[in-house]
Amino acid sequence: MNTKSPNSKPEITAANFPALRSFLRGYFHEDVADEYGTPVEAAEQFCEDADSDERTAVAHEWTLLMNVLQGRPLPEINQALTGKLGGAVRLNEEEIQQVSQIFARCLSARTHRKVAND
């Protein structure tokens, strides 16, 4: 039973980050260079391929994960992305920043559309 307080950070597990795990396994796999060029291009492609709900879920979970890992060393971040969540790509600091920006745009676009529809 999960007894964490609402303000505590979630444990980094596939169960706690299911959409992100699916994204990592589908886009940040061992053939990322052949299929997309770079991890950043893979994230851009995901945003084109996925429906709005999928983009929002992955973007939200990416943002949550980056908040959980804030201030952690790069090897620890990559261990979470690969070992714990099933990706096969190790990112550098710049790529993490760029992917974070892509997903921030996904969330921002969703928020703007939701406000416009209200």
pLDDT, tens only, 46-80: 999 999 999 999 999 999 999 999 999 999 999 99
Q: What is the dihedral of CA 83, 86, 89, 95, to 10 degrees?
A: -90
Token pair recorded at residue 27: 């886009």
How would residue 5 be classed by pLDDT, with cut points 50, 70 and 90?
A: very low
> Is 65:86 a contact under the CB 8 Å cutoff?
no
Mean pLDDT of 34-41: 96
pTM listed for this prediction: 0.85
Residues 68 and 74: their CA atoms lie apart, in Å, by 13
Of 109, 99, 101, 107, the closest CA to residue 43 belongs to: 99
Residues 95 and 89: their CA atoms lie apart, in Å, by 11
Phi, psi of 66 (to 5 degrees): -65, -35
The reported pLDDT for the residue numbered 92 is 97
